[in-house]
Structure 1
């Protein structure tokens, strides 16, 4: 059920994004609720899809039934948004974020370390953004908080996965300072968009530099197999994070870089991280085992190429930007099909192996 709600959120978010650029056929204006989907595209993608997936992951880690209330509320809220019930959907999103905050607070009580505290701060950012959305604030106020939730969650996961690495104390102080600037920029953006946006974009660039310098990916990229694939996903994501930071600051100063800021961050960074972590995370939260192979690089390459087309070539005309967006959507479907194929391949391989042993 929760997986179905996440899938509906993703499909609705993709449809809304395409309709924004006039891609979808038939004409979206022929649908009664199309306008609502256009307005809540970001909410469907960030809170509905990503919030539900992250909520499921955290609930599985906590191993408490009440923790599943968060992804159930976020997925249900996204369904309401897609059906045009914006007020109900928005407040369900607030409820999901509050439960998620409580779940992370419980984790901190069990284990108060750097990555769990960072996860708690990211959950608080989700609460802030969802409250502002429910109260009717615009994207300038809401988006920085929602993206801070995703960025801080990813940064926390990288800290957890590399916790055995030896880093100088100054490195941790630098990270704390960068994330403090990120939250400051998010808070400023609601009432001082120019100053807040510049601070926020600067923090994204600095975070990209920190991750590229101190993440283990810069070493594992020289290995083989899954470790190398993950490293390439991570390093590519960090590059897009830097692009997003520059575009975000430029947008705050009046440049027409909104599409680059939002999608270099949401697709280039966040989806690159998802692609990299999926072969590791899915077996633990969905009990799905995957057969890893070089074919995983195909949707990853498609993601980067489609983003380049959308953000670079798209600056020369709306049709190219729309084509790039269509390829972005196709890439997400391509990756989902790749994961499904990897699951089937694992079953076929191990089923054959089990049959051979039984003989």
Structure 2
């Protein structure tokens, strides 16, 4: 399976089928595995929020390993799959498979095997990003390499038994820095101010130092990064556009607001505030899932070769995500209800994406 998603080639002279068939088979295998992992991780999160979720031992394992399943298993596989498609090297597809294997091992009750698989995935992901930097040594590719090292740091801590806030912060740094790299790349489409890149480097250095040493610094760095996004990101301009471009900009700007909330909550943790749930979910749901909702209509066609037809329905799960997070963070009494609505927002987004893909296919058939 490590070679199921290479760049399609034409049929060879010997008449052997190219990898397009393997590509389709790979999608058929990877998509349900990723969906199942996400579904179980969400169910585990609901159980942690105090909701009576069925599923027995499997959901119990998902609850115990909720953060690892979401960040290392699901997002680790998705992000590394996108990088593998960009690199177009068959060996790179081993990385998302290792991330998935780590998630399955955790669900099976083998935490050490899962940790080792995640560490191997992060090592491979570091190698993939080194290859990308070698091919294109640009600021955003170097930042992507830093994100891989942050993921590796968190996974090493998991493997050696350091299950602490520094491990969680390193995992989150992996995703946050990945997003920062992608947004840094997008700033080339606008007039880049001279201060933008040095400021981002300083903020990311503070973020990494905070992840390793001090949660207060990590929180301050998250707030600073939110301010950097709001000051320099192209979404400030594209929000005036229409259609998909405006929707993406609104996802991004809303996510940046939640990033600032998460930073304040992480800072509060060091001051003794009861803000742990806000710190984790304003970042994991408010920021990261807003980024997912904004980028999925563009990334899905590039990675899975599934085109979607955008319409106003995309705003429904986005609005529900924001509302459910506000409710969740309103207080402990509202946390279970907010968690259920968080899950409903993610499920609704999946349905909207499926509907958009079917609409595109129907339009293409009508044209032909």
Superposition TM-score, scaled by structure 1 size: 0.92
Whether 2:152 is the aligned partner of 1:138: answer no
How far is the alpha carbon of 1:353 from its aligned partner? 1.5
Report the equivalent of 1:338.
352
Structure 1 residue aligned with 2:243, among 225, 249, 255?
Answer: 225
Whether 2:170 is the aligned partner of 1:117: answer no
Unpaired runs of at least 5, structure 2:
1-28
Indicate the SS of the match to 2:188: coil
Counterpart-to-counterpart distance in 1, 2:276 and 2:142 = 31
Whether 2:258 is the aligned partner of 1:258: answer no
Report the equivalent of 2:290.
272
Counterpart-to-counterpart distance in 1, 2:346 and 2:247 = 17
Report the equivalent of 1:47.
72
Structure 2 residue aligned with 1:150, among 150, 170, 175?
Answer: 175
Counterpart-to-counterpart distance in 1, 2:53 and 2:141 = 44
Structure 2 residue aligned with 1:327, among 341, 344, 353?
Answer: 341
CA contact (8 A) 1:240 1:264 kept: yes
CA contact (8 A) 1:2 1:75 kept: no
Indicate the SS of the match to 1:149: helix
Indicate the SS of the match to 1:101: helix
Whether 2:356 is the aligned partner of 1:353: answer no
Counterpart-to-counterpart distance in 2, 1:111 and 1:349 = 37
Counterpart-to-counterpart distance in 2, 1:2 and 1:350 = 25
What are the within-5 Å matches in structure 2 for residues 193-272 of structure 1?
196-272=214-290
How large is the RMSD of aligned CA atoms in angstroms? 1.1
Counterpart-to-counterpart distance in 1, 2:259 and 2:355 = 29
Indicate the SS of the match to 1:288: coil
Structure 1 residue aligned with 2:44, among 10, 16, 21?
Answer: 16
Whether 2:103 is the aligned partner of 1:85: answer no
Counterpart-to-counterpart distance in 1, 2:326 and 2:80 = 31
What are the within-5 Å matches in structure 2 for residues 64-103 of structure 1?
64-103=89-128
Counterpart-to-counterpart distance in 1, 2:52 and 2:164 = 23
Q: Against the structure 1 CA distance between its residues 10 and 135, is the aligned structure 2 distance closer, same or farther, given a 3 Å change threshold?
A: same
Offset from partner CA, 1:123-173 (integer Å, 9 cap, x none): 000000011011111231210100000000001011112323222322211
Superposition TM-score, scaled by structure 2 size: 0.90
How far is the alpha carbon of 1:276 from its aligned partner? 0.4
Counterpart-to-counterpart distance in 1, 2:327 and 2:105 = 33
Stretch deviating more after TM superposition (157-166 or 251-260): 157-166
Counterpart-to-counterpart distance in 2, 1:8 and 1:246 = 33
